[in-house]
Structure 1
Amino acid sequence: MSLPLLPGRECGGCVECCRVIPLSLPELSKPTGKLCAYCVDGAGCSVHAIRPQTCRTWFCLWRVVEVSDDWRPDRSGVILRPDGLEEGRMTLFVLRRTEFLDSPAFRTTVAHWIAEGFEIGLSVPGPVGTLPVRAVVTDWLRPATDADDPVAFQSRLTAALDQLDAHEFEPDGVIAHYAVA
């Protein structure tokens, strides 16, 4: 998928995708949840000029859609995954529970997406080397968003995240190797 990037939106020191996205390429393999060996935490890719094509073309939706800077993954703890956007799906990959999840900016944006007809998925990472889990929560969150009830929204969000965290995570099967030249 190739969506246009918003001008002025740069990854900067955010390296969350370099940590959580699994890669299994001939030139680079890393398990889910392990920071890429070429990545400098808080600074970015040390082989940026010659990074694999996958790394050149994958961007979280913070770089693509009009959301506040608070949504930047290293600040929010949430990666907006691009897969499914063109089909009306939005996946909120909750890396860690932060105060942002209880903010009006988070709640009103999710409520807006639900009102616009997007399917909202929540996803959470498992231990290093395991695949994340995902669940569609649109209908679960809708009563709270329709009522504009922040307490009910937070309660339902927390319950959904608790259920996902309790899931049995499957190994991703990726064996790390680094050969970018």
Structure 2
Amino acid sequence: MSLPLLPDRTCGACVECCRAIPLDLPELAKPTGELCAYCVEAAGCSVHAIRPNTCRVWFCLWRVVELSDDWRPDRSGVIVRPDGIEDGVITLYVIRPSDFLASPDFFATVAGWIAEGVEVALSIPGPVGTYPARAVVTDWLRPAVEAGDPAAFLGRVLRSLDKLAEHDFQPDGVVARYAVA
């Protein structure tokens, strides 16, 4: 899915998608959680001009939606995934817990989505080469959102992440293959 990007918003040094997103294309395959071999940490794609179409059209929602710079995945530890957005679901892929989860910005934004009727899912990575765990948590977060209680909200988010960590992570079956030319 290709969404219109916000003008003047670039990935910069963020390469989290190049690590988190699995690819299984004829010219490029990499397991979930493995940094793409073409990616230079904190710099970006070394084959940018000839990268596969999948890499050209997939962007996290930080590039698409008016979110503060604190939401950039390498800063926040959260990739706001676009998959599901057409069905009214926003997935917050927490690649690493950070202080951002306790920020007023995180609470206000997620609370706003829930108040607007958007479903919110939390997701976490498993070991390299496994699918992530994911659960829709809208109803679980709603009491803290409706009470306007950021501390209770954070507690529910952290409990959700702990519960997701107990998931039986399944292999993604992707074998690394790098042949972009």
- The TM-score, its normalising length taken from structure 2, stands at 0.99
Q: Structure 1 residue 94: deviation in Å?
A: 0.2
Is 1:97 matched with 2:74? no
**Paired position in structure 2 for 1:30:** 30
Alignment of 1:114-125 (within 5 A): 114-125=114-125
Q: Structure 1 residue 102: deviation in Å?
A: 0.4
**Paired position in structure 2 for 1:107:** 107
Is 1:73 matched with 2:82? no
Q: Which amino acid counterpart does residue 90 of structure 2 have in structure 1?
A: M
Q: Deviating runs (4+, > 4 A) in structure 1?
A: none
Q: How many residues align?
A: 181
Q: Which amino acid counterpart does residue 92 of structure 1 have in structure 2?
A: L
Partner of 1:66, secondary structure, is coil
Distance 2:50 2:132 in 1: 28
Partner of 2:135, secondary structure, is strand
Alignment of 1:12-27 (within 5 A): 12-27=12-27
Q: Structure 1 residue 2: deviation in Å?
A: 2.0
**Paired position in structure 2 for 1:6:** 6
| Residues 45-68 of structure 1 deviation map (CA, whole Å, 9 limit, x = unaligned) | 000000000000000000000110
Partner of 2:91, secondary structure, is strand
Q: Which amino acid counterpart does residue 162 of structure 2 have in structure 1?
A: D
**Paired position in structure 1 for 2:151:** 151
**Paired position in structure 1 for 2:168:** 168
Q: Percent identity?
A: 72
Q: Which amino acid counterpart does residue 125 of structure 2 have in structure 1?
A: P
| Residues 13-58 of structure 1 deviation map (CA, whole Å, 9 limit, x = unaligned) | 1000000100000000000000000000000000000000000000
Stretches of structure 1 lacking an aligned partner (at least 5 in a row): none
Distance 1:144 1:22 in 2: 34
Distance 1:75 1:124 in 2: 16
Stretches of structure 2 lacking an aligned partner (at least 5 in a row): none
Question: Once superposed, what is the RMSD of the aligned Cα atoms?
Answer: 0.5
Q: Which amino acid counterpart does residue 180 of structure 1 have in structure 2?
A: V
Distance 1:3 1:17 in 2: 16
Partner of 2:160, secondary structure, is helix
| Residues 67-89 of structure 1 deviation map (CA, whole Å, 9 limit, x = unaligned) | 10100000000000001112211
Q: Structure 1 residue 132: deviation in Å?
A: 0.2
- The TM-score, its normalising length taken from structure 1, stands at 0.99
Q: Structure 1 residue 166: deviation in Å?
A: 1.2
